[in-house]
Amino acid sequence: MTNRLVLPLPGSEVFAERLATAGGFELGALESRRFPDGERYLRIHADPGDRPVDILCSNADEQFLSLAFAADAVRDLGASEVTLVAPYLGYMRQDARFNPGEAVTSRTFARLVSSLVDRLVTVDPHLHRFTALEELYDIPCTVLRSAPLIGDWIAREASAPLVIGPDAESEQWAAEIAARAGAPYVVLAKRRTGDREVEVTLPDLAMHHGRQAVLVDDIASSGRTLAAASQALRDRGFSFPLCVVVHAVFAEGAYADVSAAAARTVSTDTLAHESNAITVAPLIAGALANLP
Ligand code: R5P
């Protein structure tokens, strides 16, 4: 029997409940409001003393200060270990200085988080130029992979699927998902020319005609990658694809754009979104229960 305490930051309450149920953990509550001057007030409604505390946060951009205050407070109240559970780990994409003067936010963010908590547990972080989170973070990191869950979903929902990764980076997910789904996979070539401008080139797909195209990607943000890939597939005679993403970031208007280009668009619940169809809560609960 575990005595872990799950504490959701604002916005993570629904997932926290799923996680606590899946793991048999206690679900605490964080009262949070703003003072009249806009500064944050936080109060923990649970006893974090002498036990591991899992702070849930998938929106570090808006919740970073709350994370800092909550982590410090539970430690001050006697928590034996503080883990940041970030089903979606933000600030992983600006991992290099592409233009002079740019802030390499991946590094800075990792350094700040490492100073706040003892551990990090996350799902499919966007590792591109870095190959492991430990290259950025100074704390033990547990990386979970959603590919088996996505592969099982595809095996259930698609008939004769062809798994398609929209760019070279996605091969790591596409290959594992396809193997699990018992399907072939291909990887497209992508060229990004701006935040919202993407060009996609297809290889020869003649041998796969008649299959259900299933686009898989780790993140849908502007949605341009999936929309452009879908268009390119239809230009080659495929019908509207299924789109499956791990992290449903979906910036303004993106979900509508992708939905219009797809037969169906689904995601895991690392970020709360109407497209969520695959839960990673049991996966994370299992990992937390087995932490050393
Ligand atoms: C790229 O490196 C990622 O794997 C995704 O393909 C990308 O983040 C998707 O972004 P968007 O939805 O803005 O095209």
Q: Which atom of ligand 1 is nearest to the CA of 198?
A: 14
Q: Which CATH architecture has domain 5-145+279-289?
A: 3-Layer(aba) Sandwich (3.40)
The closest residue, in CA terms, to atom 14 on ligand 1 is 225
Residues with Cβ within 8 Å of 198's Cβ and at least 6 positions away in sequence, in order, are 190, 191, 192, 224, 225, 228
List the one residue out of 202, 212, 256 whose CA is nearest residue 232: 202
* CATH code matching the domain that covers 147-269, chosen among 1.10.3720.10, 3.40.50.1000, 2.40.280.10, 3.40.50.2020: 3.40.50.2020
**Whole-number Å distance between alpha carbons of 207 and 46:** 58
Integer-rounded Cα radius of gyration of the chain: 20
Tokens of 234: 């239809």
Q: Do domains 5-145+279-289 and 147-269 have the same CATH topology?
A: yes
Q: Which of 124, 196, 221, 226 for mutating ligand 1's site (highest number of atoms within 8 Å of CB)?
A: 221
All structural domains of the chain with their residue ranges:
5-145+279-289, 147-269
The reported pLDDT for the residue numbered 172 is: 84
Question: Which atom from ligand 1 is nearest to the alpha carbon of 224?
Answer: 14
Quote the ligand 1 centre to 260 CA distance (angstroms).
18
Tell me which amino acid residue 245 is. V
Q: What is the pTM of this model?
A: 0.94
Pocket lined around ligand 1, Cβ cut-off 6 Å:
166-167, 169-170, 198, 217-225
Contact 88, 60 (CB under 8 A): no
Please report the pLDDT score of residue 1 as a whole number. Answer: 47
**Contact by Cβ (8 Å): 106, 288:** no
pLDDT lower than 50: segments of the chain: 1
- The reported pLDDT for the residue numbered 129 is 86
DSSP β-ladder status, 52-56 and 5-8: parallel
3-state helix, strand, coil in the chain (%, to 5): 35, 30, 40
Q: In angstroms, rounded to a whole number, what is the distance separating the alpha carbons of residues 230 and 239?
A: 9
pLDDT in tens, 51-110: 999 999 988 888 999 999 999 999 999 999 999 999 999 999 899 999 999 999 999 999
Ligand 1 atom index nearest CA of 249: 12
Q: What does the pLDDT read at residue 194?
A: 83
